[in-house]
Structure 1
Amino acid sequence: MARQRFDLIVFDWDGTLMDSTQTIAKCIQLASRDLGLPVPNDSAASHVIGLGLKDALSYAVPTLDPADYPRLAERYRYHFLTRDADLVLFDGVREMLEALHGEHYFLGVATGKTRVGLERALEATGLGKWFDATRCADETFSKPHPAMLHELTRELGQDVARTVMVGDTTHDLQMAANAGAHGLGVCYGAHPADALRAMAPVHCATSIADLQQWLLTHA
């Protein structure tokens, strides 16, 4: 099938491919409680998902003294690692990636995770073989800065105008807009559907099945 609009499809990880939104939010809350800091509510803790860890913690806990960031980050990592093994992919992710790979799309990942965290997740899920290139927040600028998408397109020799960024947060969609790429929202992750639609994405998918069908039909 000839590609209509896109050659490169870039996915966010948490909340887009992996069902980890509630776990990440809970770990931010637990880390804040450990240090006696104000505990962000569910909305604030979820809103920062997709950002690099330092940006996420600074936003979720605005009273955080910069000197306390390493301690808060350590407590977050502690709580996340105790739950990491229980995280699962959304149903249908493997089949979707295999189908897109079979249609010869370039596939990438742009994530707020660290490189160590992403490599651990790729190894645990066995998805690494499907991705042509990946970028993490500790390697470049955090979302919504366009650097991840610009670096991925340069590495793969692709046109950013024929690239679509798939994500569950406004950070993902804003990064796409900043980069000159297209944004595609998924409504089952961290940010509410109305916030995603306000960013004028090419589509808002309600499930992995919906996402796969749209990409194979319209991309």
Structure 2
Amino acid sequence: MSYSLVVFDWDGTLMDSTHSIVAAIQGACRDLELPVPSASQASWVIGLSLESALRHAVPELTKAMMPRFLERYRVNYLLRDPELKLFDGIRELLAELAQRNVQLAVATGKSRVGLNRALAASGLVDAFQATRTADETFSKPNPAMLHEIMTELDVAADRVVMIGDTSHDLQMAANAGVHSVGVTYGAHTRKELESCTPQVIVESVPELTAWLAAREV
């Protein structure tokens, strides 16, 4: 199978931010004196829209408390901004795919403001032909993000592969009728990724690069 469009998740797939998201959720819980979820509980929700994620990770959080919690989450997350970086090899992978005329896109649980900040900070503003965020359409695993990207770029489903580190990413791909690749260096375990039967599961960016290189446009 060859692909003309590669869609990436952001957090835990392109950017090494899983630990910062977990710490921000836990920090906001402490600030509001709510039960603090474990790292595994907090990391499981990564990839969902923030409000959907918080309903799962912090079930004690009421609707009335949500604005204050979101404020504390963002403060805790922004405090870790200097720690955030792309995974080693990602910049080179994106450049290699672009040289092969593969179209690139992002489908993320981040907000539009959050993704724009991340794109600017990483110098990747012009790297992607299309992007979708959770506050612009339905959250994963609903296939809307992928359907909208495919429509915008006029690419058929059988020419698309979704790369992600969570079962939410891979289930979205299955729901959209496209292929998927799971990466184990992000938020979810291999077992969780295997439950969605992706085309392959890789353990590193070099392994991902090699797998994609073998699929000519």
Range of TM-score over shorter length:
over 0.9
Who is 2:183 aligned against? 186
Does 2:135 match 1:143? no
Who is 1:16 aligned against? 13
Does 2:168 match 1:165? no
Who is 2:207 aligned against? 210
Who is 1:27 aligned against? 24
What amino acid is the match of 1:39? V
* Structure 1 residue 160 displacement after superposition: 1.9
What amino acid is the match of 1:181? V
* Structure 1 residue 218 displacement after superposition: 2.8
Who is 2:111 aligned against? 114
Percent sequence identity over matched residues? 56
What amino acid is the match of 1:135? R
Determine helix, strand or coil for the equivalent of 1:130. coil
Tell me the C-alpha RMSD between the 2 structures.
1.0
* Structure 1 residue 162 displacement after superposition: 1.7
* Structure 1 residue 31 displacement after superposition: 0.4
Q: Paired residue for 2:197, among 196, 200, 217?
A: 200
Does 2:46 match 1:49? yes
* Structure 1 residue 7 displacement after superposition: 1.4
Q: Relative to total residues, which structure has the larger helix share, 1 or 2?
A: 1
Runs of 4+ in 1 over 2 A off after TM superposition: none
What amino acid is the match of 2:161? V
Unmatched tracts of structure 2, length 5 or more: none
| Cα contact 1:149–1:160 (8 A) shared by 2 | no
Who is 1:127 aligned against? 124
> Equivalent residues in 2 for 1:77-88 (5 A)?
77-88=74-85
**How far apart are the structure 2 equivalents of 1:70 and 1:55?**
14
**How far apart are the structure 1 equivalents of 2:10 and 2:153?**
19
* Structure 1 residue 85 displacement after superposition: 2.6
**How far apart are the structure 1 equivalents of 2:148 and 2:81?**
28
The number of residues matched between the two structures is 216
Q: Paired residue for 2:172, among 175, 192, 205?
A: 175
Who is 2:99 aligned against? 102
- TM-score, length of structure 1 as denominator length: 0.96
**How far apart are the structure 2 equivalents of 1:6 and 1:92?**
20
Determine helix, strand or coil for the equivalent of 1:6. coil
What amino acid is the match of 1:34? D
1:9-28 CA distances to partner (integer Å, 9 max, x unpaired)? 00000000100111100110
What amino acid is the match of 1:85? P
Determine helix, strand or coil for the equivalent of 2:186. coil
